[in-house]
Amino acid sequence: MTDKRILIIYTGGTIGMTRTPDGYAPEKGYLKSELDMISDMHDSGMPAWDLLEFEELLDSSNITYREWNQIARAIDDNYDDYDGFVVLHGTDTMAYTASALSFMLENLSKPVILTGSQIPLCELRSDGKDNIITSIIIAAEGVVNEVCLFFGTKLLRGNRSTKNSADGLIAFASPNYPPLAEAGIDIDYHKSIIRPKPEGVFNVCYIDESSIGVIKLFPGIHFKLFEPIVTEKLQGLVLETFGTGNIPNYDAELPGLIAKAIDNGTMVVVCTQCAHGTVQLGAYETSSALARTGALSGYNMTTEATIAKLHYLFSKKCSADKMRKMMNRSLCGEVDPE
């Protein structure tokens, strides 16, 4: 492992933040000074690593598809020179970035591990040190060749992950897919559920701007309020529905709006508000009308992965037909259709 080289890409996030009068914020150069003080980072058993710090460090609330492209570009430019990549990122939107990169990095055959921390390195009890060291080791071991998120003790498939705690040190879960590895005394990989090495050539699909909306349903929701959003400009719309894909059917408002949106060329995908389980359009009367509009099932895909997948497919400039087919298939382990 000591002959391996890992590139750490630092985008911002709590791990390298310092205190400011307005609360924690990232500061240029600070992470490097913290890493230099961690003796384990320079232990003879550690793989060699380099740090690439972004020009502008961000709280991950400010991450957009542009930063997804910037991270992908950094991996693309350095792909042949490193055995693996660790992306340091804020936790708030880490699951979105992990999902997006999983689609963008086509035929990836090296580990890309996203991590960060809930407590900055500058504070007592920071979880940053363990998260970064274990992520580097996982990146160097090279057992996984997909985009993953490591946090606390678990290595999760990136496009299955979701942030499920604002303050816990186990901040992420992957409710519909088991962890790819667990870090105890040893790092135990669950090899049978790790994606096989791809055969094709590594390629990056960069993301273009696209207009995607998400509507989370709640009891008594007035759909009319959403009419302009739904019927005019959106390329993609994710509906976070109840249970297995259910919507209120006390009037025909929502199915009517959705049908109009689909006529206008909007790709509508139905997800569930439940962390566990899958959408089954037509299982109840309250989802049959939605199925008839031509809305697509997101099955057990997270909202994060659904948004990322829509971005990716729009950027690939797929025809509507092809998009529908791709939405119904797993492209990189993000969903179990049916």
Least distance (Å) between residue 51 CB and ligand ASP: 18
Question: How large is the C-alpha radius of gyration of the chain?
Answer: 21
Sign of the alpha-carbon torsion through 93, 64, 225, 251: negative
116 binds ligand ASP (CB under 6 A): yes
Of 67 and 83, which has the nearer Cβ to ligand ASP?
67
Least distance (Å) between residue 14 CB and ligand ASP: 3
Per the rule left: phi > 0, alpha: psi between -120 and 50, beta: everything else, 108 is beta
Least distance (Å) between residue 72 CB and ligand ASP: 19
Q: State the residue for tokens 């006390």.
A: 250
91 binds ligand ASP (CB under 6 A): yes
Of 118 and 176, which has the nearer Cβ to ligand ASP?
118
Helix, strand, or coil (residue 71): helix
Phi, psi of 203 (to 5 degrees): -150, 145
Q: Which stretch binds ligand ASP (CB under 6 A): 86-94, 103-111, 239-247, 316-324?
A: 86-94
111 binds ligand ASP (CB under 6 A): no
Closest CA to 140 of 237, 60, 48, 33: 48
Of 53 and 92, which has the nearer Cβ to ligand ASP?
92
Catalytic residues: 14
Q: Which stretch binds ligand ASP (CB under 6 A): 84-92, 263-271, 283-291, 294-302?
A: 84-92
**What residues from 11 to 70 belong to the interface with ligand ASP (CB under 6 A)?**
12-14, 59-61
DSSP string, 284-327: SHHHHHHHHHTPEE-TT--HHHHHHHHHHHHHTT--HHHHHHHH
Interacting residue ranges for ligand ASP, rule: CB under 6 A:
12-14, 59-61, 90-92, 116, 118
